[in-house]
Structure formats: C-alpha cells, structure tokens
Amino acid sequence: MEHGPDNTKLEKLMEDPQKQEEFIEELRKSQLFLPVIFSENMFEGIEDSKPGDVFTLKEPSGYDINFLTDNNGNRAIPLFTSSEKMEEGGLKSSAMVIYVPDLANMFKRLKNNYKYIAINPMCEIGADMPIVPFIKLFATKDEEPIDIDLNNPESVATMVCKAAYENTGLFVHDINLPNEWAEKYEIGTIIKEKGFVDMTNKIGQMTTSHRYAIISNHVANFSQFEDGTNWNLHTAAPNSKFKVLDVYEFKGKTQILLLHLIENLEDFFVDNGSIDKGYVALARKIFEESFEKEIIEEVNTKEWLKRCSFPIGMDDEGNLWNIDD
C-alpha cells in the first residue's frame, strides 16, 4: 500500500505539456519525496526504544541529498511524487517527505552546487527545471533580485534561455498575411496568442506568402490522434507567448521565426541577448532549402490551411494582442 502524500493530480498534469501553468500551481502546494543519505549516528540507540517512547536524535545528526549526476557532469536534485515512482526510477534510498515551498527555501543555499531539479527522474514521465527558476517560483518581493545578466553563463537568465532552446523541434504554420500585418512582427518583440496554435514538422515548399517557423520543446503532439489526415499535428496551448527571433524574406516569401517561451518565465527573454543567432541561421537555411523541395500535399489541403489561417499573436484586424491581458 502506498503511504505518503497523494500526488496523482501532479503526475497527471506532467503528462500534458499544454497544462504547464496548472502543473506549476499544483507543484507549489505539493509534498515530494527527497532521497537522502542519513548520517551514520542519526538513529543510534533506536533499536532499544519501545513502542510509545519519544526518540531523540543524537548530535550531531543530519543527512546528505542523494543527488544524481547527468552525462555532462551536472548535479541534479531528484524529487519523486511517491515511493512507487522512486521504485520505478530504480533509486533505492531513504527519503524525506517535504513541502515544495520548504524545499525551495532549503535549495537557496545549494543553488551553486546543483544545476537543476529532476521530478521523477528515470521514470516514463518526468520533468526537469533549472534550480534557480524553481527557487524563483517561491521568492518574495523582499528577496534579492535574480541575476538577469545574459553575459554571465551562470546567471538565471542564461540558464532559462538555454532551457528554452534545449531539445527543440522546428515547426511551421503557413499563412497568407497582408504585408502591413507582417510588418508588425519586429525582431525582439514578445507576442501572445490567445487561441490554440496548430503547426506541423512536415516542412516542404510553401504555397502561401508567409511562414511562421516555430522553435519549441513543449508543444503537444497530437499526431497519434489523427484520422488519416497525416498532418503530424502539433499544438501550442492558448495564451502561449513567443519571441520574434527573425523576419527573413527570400524569393518573394517571408519567414517569421518564433521561439516558444517557457510559461511564467517570459521576463527573462526581453533582452535581445536571448536570440540565438545559430538557430536563426539554421532556420534561414531550412527556409531556403524548402524552395527546392516538393509541396507536401497533406499540409496544403484546404482543411489544413484553414486551421492555419489566423495570424499568431493578432486579432482578426491585425492588431497585436496585449501580452498582459
């Protein structure tokens, strides 16, 4: 029988990339299992205790975090939603059950020793987060400001921006845009789309005037639910925010390159130092090469183009949405 906190809802939210905001809110009030190694003398004499006795820990007592090390040598703090998940992950260890806000306070003094937290590592479904943004979720207004220097490789901003580009895919959303609308996408602008954004990773020759190329590592993959359409359908959740990385015209057509931003951490992307020039160059190359490819019929049908017929981040009159609404 499973003992400890019930994190069933948190585990369910981890399965759906579109529910990041709900996941964060549930995480804030959760209790998680922290694997630890207790000091040898911590429970000295407990074998002589009787039922009902009050046992006092011997001094000095304490524990160390049973941390993990990834392939790059970075230390990660493992956290589990249940003892069953610890077993699934193959980690045999003592553990403490701690409220997540208390964990964040504890990790403030450890942030220079660990790179990230790993929730349910080595399990079928898990989640990673750089440790400083994790701590920031529980910061108060009176606490010292977070380092947002993008020139500092150890700053929070650098780590957050790096996380946005890691394990990404490139997706496209082709559309016919009036030029006066397209001109509103200025490099460095952060935009917000209130509706779902459909896209595909099938990249061929365009039949429209404009193409949104979207870099993302957290769109939902709905291709398995398609019924013969063969779109390779991927979708960004409503209220997603994007940063305009590039606007590139080639042979009379225009590509607007967007970076799908991490939920609740958009402030770290205001500085244009967050624009990765390597990704811009690669996206331009892929765009140019697409002119030599065949038109992919499945993503040029009337039905697909209708799904992609609305401008990202704009209303039906070409006005950019207010990102704070």
Which residue ranges form the domains of the chain, and what is each CATH number?
A: 8-144 (3.40.1350.90), 164-307 (3.90.176.10)
Tens-place pLDDT, residues 102-160: 888 777 766 557 778 889 999 988 888 877 777 777 766 555 545 544 455 555 555 55
Give the pTM: 0.57
> Strand runs (DSSP E) across the chain, as ranges?
31-38, 63-65, 68-69, 75-79, 94-99, 116-119, 127-130, 169-175, 190-193, 197-200, 210-216, 220-221, 233-236, 240-250, 253-260
Confidence of residue 280 (pLDDT cuts 50, 70, 90): very high
- Bridge partners of 113, per DSSP, are none
DSSP assignment, residue 314? B
User: How far apart are the C-alpha atoms of 94 and 38, rounded to whole Å?
Assistant: 8
| pLDDT confidence of residue 93 | 82
